[in-house]
């Protein structure tokens, strides 16, 4: 009986064997760092008179793309957007939806 063993394939210097979990974790780490830094940058710009700000749409988009935890941590650490109810409730809601989606994907993929 022959067992199937996946072969390592190399694409643009990245070697993937079996699961893309490493790439997913790297993406989530990067997008959360970006969302965190965007909150800090916008807070710094808010203090400067006439500085060009980061739009609220861009802040929410960074959270929707997977950076909700970084955005929440940035909100808390920099004390930024904490008086806007749609940030106070919206960012945790996005995080909960993402965690629910991740749990559903995990259940579907690993309960079969």
Collapse the DSSP code of 66 into the 3-class scheme (helix H, G, I; strand E, B; otherwise coil) and give the result.
Answer: helix
Q: Where are the alpha helices (DSSP H) in the chain?
A: 21-47, 56-62, 68-78, 85-110
Residue 9 dihedral angles phi and psi, to the nearest 5°: -120, 140
| pTM of the predicted structure, to 2 decimals | 0.80
Confidence of residue 109 (pLDDT cuts 50, 70, 90): confident
pLDDT digits (tens, 9 = 90+) for 35-66: 999 999 999 999 999 999 999 999 999 999 99
Long-range contact list for 21-30, CB < 8 A, 24+ apart?
A: 27/66, 28/66
Dist CA 2 CA 80 (whole Å):
59
């Amino acid at each position: 009986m022959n067992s199937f063993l996946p072969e390592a394939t190399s694409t643009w210097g990245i070697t993937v064997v079996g699961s893309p979990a490493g790439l997913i974790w790297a993406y989530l780490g990067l997008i959360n760092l970006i969302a965190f830094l965007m909150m800090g940058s916008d807070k710094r710009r808010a203090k400067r008179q006439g500085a060009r700000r980061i739009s609220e749409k861009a802040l929410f988009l960074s959270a929707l793309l997977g950076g909700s935890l970084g955005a929440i941590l940035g909100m808390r650490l920099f004390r930024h957007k904490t008086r806007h109810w749609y940030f106070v409730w919206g960012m945790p809601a996005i995080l909960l939806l993402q965690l629910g989606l991740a749990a559903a994907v995990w259940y579907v993929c690993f309960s079969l």
